[in-house]
């Protein structure tokens, strides 16, 4: 194998593959040690310590004791102009990064930690800068920090819930052709920016009102944890206390270094991408044979960062499935060409793609079915248990006639309950808002997507609150949202209802969008309410920040997607084999096609493989659940079924990069576990941010037709001999 480096003028390079951030480690943060209740000025006076609810024998740490001298500002001072302005900038950056992840790696990231860190860093830096120039500014409170983070996240999450890498893109002609369709007729839809904005606005605003009346039931009565919301609250509280400020500075510094390093590495790589198949991203580390199967390490800093965040079992499940698929399963299927299938197209559902995509979808559905059943059973059990406990408490109070018999609330709970109950939106306003947006959507959504009828939309809005309640309750228990599962069910039901002749493919995908946005955003809002509850943030300011972030998302996301169309090209978004192949869009398209056409379009024995992989995924989930319940030692080594489905939809090179990230994290923890636990997530986020930010100068260079000067390419021995026989003599003669 020979590495050939040539200086040449070539086509613009393809963008670096970008990864995912979809796992938030919800560690309990000890804000204050027991009995060390201090304010910024020192120890609490005796009377304040007693007022804070601490008896002599009370050894429980209090998060709010550190803020006992600080009165939370009113809601209109929590939603500030500077936080909204910062949300516009950070929301645009994180939306771009999230959409790029979805279009390349095919997953929906969660940037909660990044938004909290960057929001804290930007506003703190701004206030300090003004102070140096003698300009007074409003103090930056934890409530404003939470409002800013909520606004940014509600904007950025619309890149996934809005379907720009899933169901919306699956409607396009490019994805339809990549999935083996004709790309014409009522089964494709041309995305227009104005109509997409209108669709997002109608559905996402209704999601804000869907479960709003249940916030007291979920957070106060049932005391659901909402682990992501609780973790973010702990981080924000630590940022704004003297004990946590040092940690926050270390994390911001580590993230800044990782961003700069990742950006510089991406810039260095660009220099060597002056042609097709050139550069470090095409480095055949495991040999040219493995490279042909897309099994190589492409030196993507973003994907290495993703691997550092994702659980080790997820990354190595992907690597295991990639190995089995690339070297055993697909070669076997290719050998059956001419007997099992005759279509030569690698993307057609009647050819080899009729095995890969349905098998991946079967594993996804098997995993989703298990998770849906498992979480529904757990949610029903806890719901019934909480209801009995509440009834028992109510009976005891009624019998005794004295509410003081209840367990006394802690100082933290009293402060939080007071603000959470006093400031909020009346329930009748929430119900009226949902009914209004439901009626408007039933009228106008069919005008945006003519394939779906008003009664389809009305039915979706009628059942969505029930599904949203189930999903929000389950998410509060185990931090796992099943919004995408409900969206896939909507594809099957509405797609089959409308039928192939009437455009059931587009109707099913539109129905998926309605269900996914309502259920997903409702669960996200409940997590934000939990964050607000634990930081004494007004529920009204939380709702307003959600509304502002949603408005920004409905405007920013379509414009960012339009930029991708302009710079990358419409024909490359969702194109099989391209950098922006959008694997989830292909999967959603496959579900929609199967819902209206059935299994008759698949090649021979494809359904047999699908059934086997469906039950295989279900079996793996059952085995993992049993191993966890029985505390078997092998519980950490059972592959994750959902992760194993990903290589069927995208190339295995992503799995190699993510496994490398896990390996680096394992080594880091072995050498310095404390440092790794504190900084690994922010370092990984910095690697992702820096690699993603280079896309902007890369696009500018392409606009001005500034091309990479060098092509670094790797050749086999045979290719090297061919080059020496034909290319070098001509080069010598011309010189």
Residue 448 reports pLDDT greater than 90:
yes
pLDDT band at 41 (very low <50, low <70, confident <90, very high): very low
pLDDT band at 17 (very low <50, low <70, confident <90, very high): very low
| Alpha-carbon gap, residue 412 to 420, rounded angstroms | 12
pLDDT band at 348 (very low <50, low <70, confident <90, very high): low
Q: What is the mean pLDDT of residues 564-587?
A: 83
Per the structure block, which two tokens stand in for 114? Answer: 């990044």
Note the pLDDT of residue 179.
75
Q: What is the pLDDT of residues 653-664, one digit of tens each?
A: 778 888 888 899
Q: What is the pLDDT of residues 380-390, one digit of tens each?
A: 787 777 777 76
Q: Which of 521, 523, 510, 519 is nearest to 547 (CA)?
A: 521
Residue 3 reports pLDDT greater than 50:
no
| Alpha-carbon gap, residue 291 to 685, rounded angstroms | 28
Q: What is the pLDDT of residues 682-693, one digit of tens each?
A: 788 778 777 767
Collapsing DSSP to helix, strand or coil, 39 comes out as strand
Residue 52 reports pLDDT greater than 60:
no
Q: What is the pLDDT of residues 199-220, one digit of tens each?
A: 999 999 999 998 888 888 888 8
- Counted residue by residue, the chain has a size of 735
Residue 129 reports pLDDT greater than 60:
yes
Note the pLDDT of residue 107.
65
Torsion of CA 399, 400, 401, 407, to 10 degrees: -110
Q: Which of 120, 153, 140, 130 is nearest to 73 (CA)?
A: 140
Q: What is the pLDDT of residues 298-325, one digit of tens each?
A: 788 878 887 887 778 888 888 888 888 8
Q: In this structure, is residue 70 part of a structural domain?
A: no
Provide the b/e sequence for 473-508 (b: ≥16 CB within 10 Å).
bbbbbebebbbbbbbbbbbbbbbbbbebebbbbbbb
Q: Are 491 and 591 in contact (CB under 8 A)?
A: yes
> How far is Cα of residue 326 from the mean position of the Cα atoms in its chain?
27
Per the structure block, which two tokens stand in for 457? Answer: 């939309």
Higher pLDDT residue, 467 or 437?
437
Note the pLDDT of residue 44.
32
Dihedral sign from CA coordinates of 182, 184, 187, 190: positive
Q: What is the pLDDT of residues 67-76, one digit of tens each?
A: 777 788 888 8
Residue 15 reports pLDDT greater than 50:
no
Higher pLDDT residue, 69 or 284?
284
Note the pLDDT of residue 446.
95
Q: In this structure, is residue 42 part of a structural domain?
A: no
Per the structure block, which two tokens stand in for 455? Answer: 């009664």
Residue 559 reports pLDDT greater than 90:
yes
Q: In this structure, is residue 59 part of a structural domain?
A: no
Q: What is the mean pLDDT of residues 640-654?
A: 76
Global pTM reads 0.69
Question: What is the DSSP-derived secondary structure letter of residue 402?
Answer: -
Q: Are 19 and 105 in contact (CB under 8 A)?
A: yes
Q: In this structure, is residue 36 part of a structural domain?
A: no
pLDDT band at 479 (very low <50, low <70, confident <90, very high): low
Q: Which of 392, 373, 67 is nearest to 238 (CA)?
A: 67
Note the pLDDT of residue 725.
65
What whole-number percentage of the chain has pLDDT above 70? Answer: 80
Distances (CA, A) of 359 to 608, 621, 642: 10, 17, 12
Q: What is the mean pLDDT of residues 527-553?
A: 92
pLDDT band at 722 (very low <50, low <70, confident <90, very high): low
Beta-bridged to residue 317, according to DSSP, are none
Q: What is the pLDDT of residues 486-530, one digit of tens each?
A: 888 788 889 989 988 888 999 999 999 999 999 989 888 898 999
Q: Which domain holds residue 295?
A: 2-26+75-401+411-710
Q: Are 573 and 580 in contact (CB under 8 A)?
A: yes
| Alpha-carbon gap, residue 147 to 389, rounded angstroms | 34
Phi, psi torsion values for 713, nearest 5 degrees = -130, 150
pLDDT band at 438 (very low <50, low <70, confident <90, very high): very high
Per-residue 3-state assignment (H helix, E strand, C coil) for 518-530:
HHHHHHHHHHHHH
Q: What is the mean pLDDT of residues 222-226?
A: 78
| Alpha-carbon gap, residue 607 to 660, rounded angstroms | 34
Note the pLDDT of residue 514.
95
Residue 594 reports pLDDT greater than 50:
yes
Higher pLDDT residue, 728 or 496?
496
pLDDT band at 20 (very low <50, low <70, confident <90, very high): very low
Q: What is the mean pLDDT of residues 95-118?
A: 78
Residue 294 reports pLDDT greater than 80:
no
Residue 171 reports pLDDT greater than 90:
yes
Q: Which of 441, 416, 509, 461 is nearest to 166 (CA)?
A: 509
Q: In this structure, is residue 406 part of a structural domain?
A: no
Q: In this structure, is residue 734 part of a structural domain?
A: no
Q: In this structure, is residue 224 part of a structural domain?
A: yes
By DSSP bridging, strand 38-39 and strand 710-715 are: unpaired
Q: How many domains does the chain have?
A: 1
pLDDT band at 552 (very low <50, low <70, confident <90, very high): very high
Q: What is the mean pLDDT of residues 622-628?
A: 89
| Alpha-carbon gap, residue 167 to 176, rounded angstroms | 12
Q: In this structure, is residue 66 part of a structural domain?
A: no
Collapsing DSSP to helix, strand or coil, 418 comes out as helix
| Alpha-carbon gap, residue 453 to 457, rounded angstroms | 7
Note the pLDDT of residue 556.
96
pLDDT band at 718 (very low <50, low <70, confident <90, very high): low
């Amino acid at each position: 194998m020979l590495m050939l480096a040539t200086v040449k003028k070539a086509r613009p390079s393809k963008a670096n593959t970008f990864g995912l951030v979809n796992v938030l480690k919800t560690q309990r943060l000890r804000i204050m040690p027991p009995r060390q209740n201090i304010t910024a000025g020192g120890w609490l006076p005796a009377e304040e310590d007693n007022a804070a609810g601490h008896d002599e024998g009370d050894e429980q740490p209090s998060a709010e004791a550190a803020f006992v001298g600080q009165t939370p500002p009113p809601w209109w001072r929590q939603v500030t102009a500077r936080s909204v302005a910062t949300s516009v900038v950070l929301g645009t950056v994180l939306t771009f990064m999230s959409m790029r992840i979805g279009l390349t790696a095919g997953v929906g990231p969660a940037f909660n930690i990044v938004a909290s860190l960057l929001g804290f860093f930007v506003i703190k830096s701004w206030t300090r800068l003004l102070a140096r120039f003698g300009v007074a500014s409003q103090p930056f409170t934890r409530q404003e920090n939470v409002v800013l983070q909520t606004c940014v996240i509600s904007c950025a999450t619309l890149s996934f819930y809005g379907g720009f890498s899933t169901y919306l893109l699956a409607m396009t002609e490019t994805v339809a052709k990549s999935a083996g369709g004709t790309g014409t007729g009522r089964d494709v839809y041309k995305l227009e920016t104005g109509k997409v904005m209108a669709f997002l606005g109608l559905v996402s605003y209704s999601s804000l009102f869907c479960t709003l009346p249940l916030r007291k039931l979920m957070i106060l009565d049932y005391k659901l944890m909402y682990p992501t919301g609780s973790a973010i609250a702990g981080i924000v509280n630590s940022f704004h206390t003297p004990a946590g400020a040092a940690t926050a500075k270390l994390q911001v510094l580590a993230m800044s270094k990782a961003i700069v390093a990742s950006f510089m590495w991406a810039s260095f790589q660009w220099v060597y991408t002056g042609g097709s198949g050139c550069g470090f991203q095409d480095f055949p580390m495991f040999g040219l044979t493995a490279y042909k199967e897309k099994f190589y390490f492409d030196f993507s800093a973003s994907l290495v960062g993703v691997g550092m965040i994702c659980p080790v079992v997820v990354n190595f499940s992907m690597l295991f499935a990639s190995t089995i698929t690339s070297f055993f399963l697909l070669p076997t299927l290719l050998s059956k060409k001419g007997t099992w299938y005759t279509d030569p197209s690698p993307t057609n559902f009647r050819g080899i793609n009729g095995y890969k995509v349905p098998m991946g979808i079967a594993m996804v559905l098997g995993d989703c079915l298990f998770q849906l059943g498992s979480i529904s059973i757990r949610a029903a059990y806890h719901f019934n248990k909480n209801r009995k406990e509440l009834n028992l408490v109510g009976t005891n109070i009624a019998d005794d006639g004295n509410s003081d018999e209840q367990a006394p609330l802690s100082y933290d709970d009293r402060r939080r309950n007071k603000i959470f109950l006093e400031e909020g939106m009346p329930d009748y306003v929430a119900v009226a808002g949902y009914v209004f947006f439901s009626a408007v959507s039933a009228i106008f959504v069919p005008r945006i997507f003519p394939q779906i009828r008003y009664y389809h939309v009305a039915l979706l809005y009628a059942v969505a609150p029930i599904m949203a309640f189930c999903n929000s309750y389950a998410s509060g228990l185990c931090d796992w949202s099943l919004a995408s599962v409900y969206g896939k069910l909507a594809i099957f039901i509405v797609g089959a209802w409308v039928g192939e002749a009437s455009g059931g493919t587009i109707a099913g995908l539109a129905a998926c969008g309605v269900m996914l946005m309502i259920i997903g955003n409702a669960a996200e809002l409940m997590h934000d309410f939990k964050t607000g509850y634990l930081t004494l943030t007004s529920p009204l300011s939380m709702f307003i920040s959600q509304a502002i972030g949603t408005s920004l998302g409905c405007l920013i996301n379509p414009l960012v997607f339009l930029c991708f169309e302009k710079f990358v090209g419409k024909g490359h978004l969702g194109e099989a084999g391209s950098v922006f192949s959008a694997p989830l869009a292909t999967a959603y398209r496959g579900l929609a096609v199967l819902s209206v056409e059935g299994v008759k379009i698949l090649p021979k024995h494809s359904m047999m493989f699908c059934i086997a992989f469906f039950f295989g995924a279900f079996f793996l989930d059952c085995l993992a659940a049993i191993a966890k319940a029985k505390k078997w030692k092998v519980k950490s080594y059972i592959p994750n079924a959902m992760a194993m489905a990903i290589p069927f939809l995208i190339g295995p090179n992503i799995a190699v990069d993510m496994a490398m990230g896990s390996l680096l994290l394992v080594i880091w923890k072995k050498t310095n576990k404390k440092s790794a636990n504190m900084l690994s997530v922010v370092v990984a986020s910095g690697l992702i941010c820096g690699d993603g930010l280079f896309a902007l100068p890369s696009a500018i260079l392409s606009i001005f037709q500034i091309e990479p000067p060098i092509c670094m390419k790797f050749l086999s021995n045979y290719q090297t001999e061919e080059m020496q026989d034909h290319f070098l003599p001509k080069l010598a003669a011309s010189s």
